[in-house]
Amino acid sequence: MMTRMVRQIFTIKLLVFLFFLRVLAETQTNPDSLLNTSSDSLEIQNPDSQHVDTVFNDGIIEKRDSLLSKEGPNSPDSISEKSSLPSPAPEDSVKHTGLFIGAGAGWTLGSFTLLDLWKQSLPDSLGYFGLDANSFAVEGDSSSLKFVIKKDADYYNMTFPIKVSFHKIREKDFFSSALSFSMIRKGFKASVFPLNDSLEGKVDIRQNLSLYSLGIEFLYGFRIQERYFSIDGVDRSDFIIGAGISPLVSLQSINKADLNSDDPRMVSVKESIHSFFNNHKSFGLALTLRTGLSTMKSFGSRGAIETGIFYTLNWYRRFFSSGKEVLTSDAFPESNDNEPLSCISNRLEISFSLLRNVH
């Protein structure tokens, strides 16, 4: 009987041990059960935690929504909204319009038939004055005379006009009037002397031609569209046409022969040379046609710089001296032309002007 009781106690212990092993095995295969149990217990122990989490989550959501509602500068909605706005009008390249006053200067180069006639009338040897190497030779002075050109007339016909102008500038065109003054002066120097005394007995010959012109001109310019023609660095380019008149043109030729010796032979030579000289002074008028290209660039708040390149045609005519119309042979005896004095000038001109807005 004792043996049977021990057997029953051993059986009960074995069953308890097996039950414990089974519970332990189920706990290892399902660890989330412990976490769930612990979290549930925490929730039970802290009932306010659920309210805190709800407020925290709601705050995050509200901040996210507010950030999304504020569109960044590069967001698609912002870009589309900006593109839908009307773009500002492009700045006009013409910064100045209105009434301008200006002052400027220029440089011209070209043909001038009046100057060509004067050059042709200049002496080139003793024969021009009716002399030769032995002219007015006296006993005891048989040295030969010599003619030498010391300064020939300039080959190029250049002038440097100055002007005062008034411009009415508009966006598509402009009107201009200008008062201009130009001068051209040519000089020639030569000497005649005996070979044995080139210093004391020397006749100095000086011949000068001057042409002064005071005129007024009127120009019209229309703006060239940039799609057809443009120059970098300027505000606008205009095609120019115009005409003018010079009511006052002064033509003057002066010829001199100087001698610094009392030598009788050289005195005679000087008088002979002087007899061939013909000093002349007359007044006439000129008509002008002009065409070319003008550019303008803003300068400061009220100023502008105008640059132009032009072709200029001048017609000089109707010269009078002492109330009598001058013939070509009167001004230039070597020409043998008895027609009224007139000439044409074809010139290239480059000009620069500073303009200031006055209205």
Domains along the chain?
98-357 (2.40.160.20)
Question: What average pLDDT does this structure show over 193-214?
Answer: 86
Place of tokens 């044995």: 196
**Strand blocks (E) in the chain:** 98-112, 145-151, 158-159, 162-169, 173-194, 203-223, 236-259, 280-299, 303-321, 324-325, 343-357
Give me the pLDDT at residue 195, please: 84
Q: Is the pLDDT of residue 3 over 60?
A: no
Q: In the chain, where does DSSP find H-type helix?
A: 2-29, 32-45, 49-69, 76-84, 113-120, 264-275, 328-331
Give me the pLDDT at residue 86, please: 47
Q: What is the mean pLDDT of the chain?
A: 79
Q: State what percent of residues in the chain have pLDDT above 70.
A: 72
The separation between CA 51 and the C-alpha centre of its own chain, rounded to angstroms, equals: 78
Q: Is the pLDDT of residue 19 over 90?
A: no
Q: Residue 321 in contact with residue 119, Cβ under 8 Å? A: no
Give me the pLDDT at residue 294, please: 93
Most confident of 40-49, 131-140, 196-205, 318-327: 318-327
Cα-Cα-Cα-Cα torsion 173, 174, 180, 186, nearest 10 degrees, comes to -10
Q: Residue 211 in contact with residue 166, Cβ under 8 Å? A: no
Range name among 14-28, 31-45, 157-171 with the lowest pLDDT average: 31-45
47-104 pLDDT, tens digit each: 444 443 444 445 444 444 544 444 444 444 444 444 444 444 444 444 568 899 999 9
Give me the pLDDT at residue 186, please: 92
Q: What is the pTM of this model?
A: 0.67
Question: What average pLDDT does this structure show over 207-226?
Answer: 94
| Residue bearing the bigger pLDDT, 331 or 300 | 331
Give me the pLDDT at residue 53, please: 46
Rounded CA-CA distance 206/277 in Å is 11
Rounded CA-CA distance 52/263 in Å is 133
Beta bridge partners of 159: 108
Q: State what percent of residues in the chain have pLDDT above 90.
A: 46
Give me the pLDDT at residue 262, please: 84
Give me the pLDDT at residue 56, please: 41
Give me the pLDDT at residue 26, please: 52
Q: Is the pLDDT of residue 31 over 90?
A: no
Question: What average pLDDT does this structure show over 129-144?
Answer: 83
Range name among 173-182, 232-241, 306-315 with the lowest pLDDT average: 232-241
